[in-house]
């Protein structure tokens, strides 16, 4: 067995912990940029809705790996803030399609631009190939994680 593996895994854990801690702090900041009453965890949900355009609640719950009840409560909160809307699903009237409202999209895009500027500043000295490799490895890690 590779003798370096345990130390490299400890290093991955350390760096991942630092990234998650920093990510939580950024999530608080960016959530308040979107809306003062937005829960920090909701930014990721808004990101999925922005990328999807329109998606059924059950499909979004499956993608996020959360229960429909939990997601439904989060969506209700976002609807109450005027950031998300439900429209009847044309293929199944019993279901609804979720999407960002115009206001939700405007607020999300402004907050996202701020976050992307932060990421750009952090990576601006990296060669382009390193940034591409970093993105590829993060995607691979996230796919393997679940």
Question: Could you state, in order of their start, the residue ranges of all structural domains in the chain?
Answer: 5-145
pLDDT value, residue 97: 92
From 26, 19, 16, 25, select the one nearest 117 (Cα to Cα): 26
Q: How many CB atoms lie within 10 A of CB 29?
A: 14
Q: Residue 65: left if φ>0, alpha if ψ -120 to 50, beta else—which one? A: left
Q: What is the pLDDT of residues 99-117, one digit of tens each?
A: 999 999 999 999 989 888 9
pLDDT reading at 1 higher than 70? no
Architecture of domain 5-145: Orthogonal Bundle (1.10)
**Can you tell me the mean pLDDT for 119-136?**
96
Q: What is the pLDDT of residues 49-69, one digit of tens each?
A: 999 889 998 889 888 888 888
Q: What is the pLDDT of residues 12-21, one digit of tens each?
A: 899 999 988 8
Could you give the count of Cα atoms lying within 13 Å of 86 in the half-sphere of its Cβ? 17
């Amino acid at each position: 067995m590779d003798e370096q593996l345990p130390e490299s895994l400890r290093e991955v854990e350390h760096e991942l912990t630092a990234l998650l801690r920093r990510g939580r702090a950024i999530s608080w900041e960016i959530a308040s940029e979107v809306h003062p009453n937005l829960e920090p965890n909701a930014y990721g949900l808004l990101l999925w809705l922005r990328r999807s355009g329109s998606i059924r609640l059950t499909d979004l719950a499956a993608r996020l790996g959360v229960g429909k009840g939990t997601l439904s409560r989060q969506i209700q909160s976002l609807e109450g803030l005027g950031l998300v809307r439900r429209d009847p699903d044309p293929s199944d009237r019993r279901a609804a399609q979720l999407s960002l409202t115009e206001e939700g999209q405007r607020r999300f895009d402004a907050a996202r631009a701020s976050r992307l500027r932060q990421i750009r500043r952090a990576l601006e000295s990296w060669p382009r190939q390193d940034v591409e490799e970093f993105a590829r490895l993060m995607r691979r890690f996230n796919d393997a994680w679940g």
